[in-house]
Amino acid sequence: MKVKLMQVGEIGTNCYLLEDETANAAALVDPGGEAEGILEQIRADGVEVRAIFLTHGHYDHTGAVRALREALPGVPVYLHPADAALLGTAVMPPIGETLPYDEGDALPVGSLTVRVIHTPGHTPGGVTLRVEEALFTGDTLFQGSMGRTDLGGGSYDQLMHSLKRLGELEGDFQVLPGHMGVSTLDRERKSNYFLREAMGL
């Protein structure tokens, strides 16, 4: 498994290209803008994009979806139904048809398996994607912080519950958030005030 990080859009959203090198298969996570740059990376790596996974519906995570649909026809776009229902609002612009995924779903990308954990709080349909020893946490868990809860559909209580679930996962994971730098779950358990509060530490 290989993961390429691209910071895209006006506020530097982390877009990830998840690759299974054995099958030349790939998936995009949160293409928030700069579609042409994302496509250049795909072409440079010579991979076939099988899916676009959205951790939530905010514009800074979905901004390149429409352009990518044109360039990659037939590639499915996955979004939790709770956020899909909010598309068309100020912070969740329409992006076209999406496929639903939810807690417990497992989706293949070549030989890789993307497992969905529903982690609401930043938005009602926020998800974390677990792939092997990596967690794509979107705007749920950041390095040293967490997502904001003051936008429409946000809930501090729900986000704390979601952080608790992530903190209680067994073992260590690479944390690949929607903004800021990458981290590890062990590091966040030790130093992230919000995660520690959620876990009662």
- Give the position of tokens 């995660």: 195
Residue range 7-58, pLDDT digits in tens = 999 899 999 999 999 999 999 999 999 999 999 999 999 999 999 999 999 9
**pLDDT band for position 3 (cuts 50, 70, 90):** very high
Under DSSP, the state recorded for 121 is S
pLDDT at 200 over 90: yes
Residues facing residue 26 across a β-bridge: 19, 49
What's the CA gap between 163 and 198, in Å, rounded? 6
Residue range 173-199, pLDDT digits in tens = 999 999 999 999 999 999 999 999 999
CB contact burial 158-171 (16+ within 10 A = b; e otherwise): bbbebbebbbeeee
Residue range 121-134, pLDDT digits in tens = 999 999 999 999 99
What's the CA gap between 9 and 103, in Å, rounded? 28
Lowest mean pLDDT segment, chosen from 116-125, 148-157, 159-168: 148-157
Residue range 73-91, pLDDT digits in tens = 999 999 999 999 999 988 8
The predicted pLDDT at position 89 comes to 87
The predicted pLDDT at position 177 comes to 98
Average pLDDT over residues 145-150: 94
Average pLDDT, the chain: 97
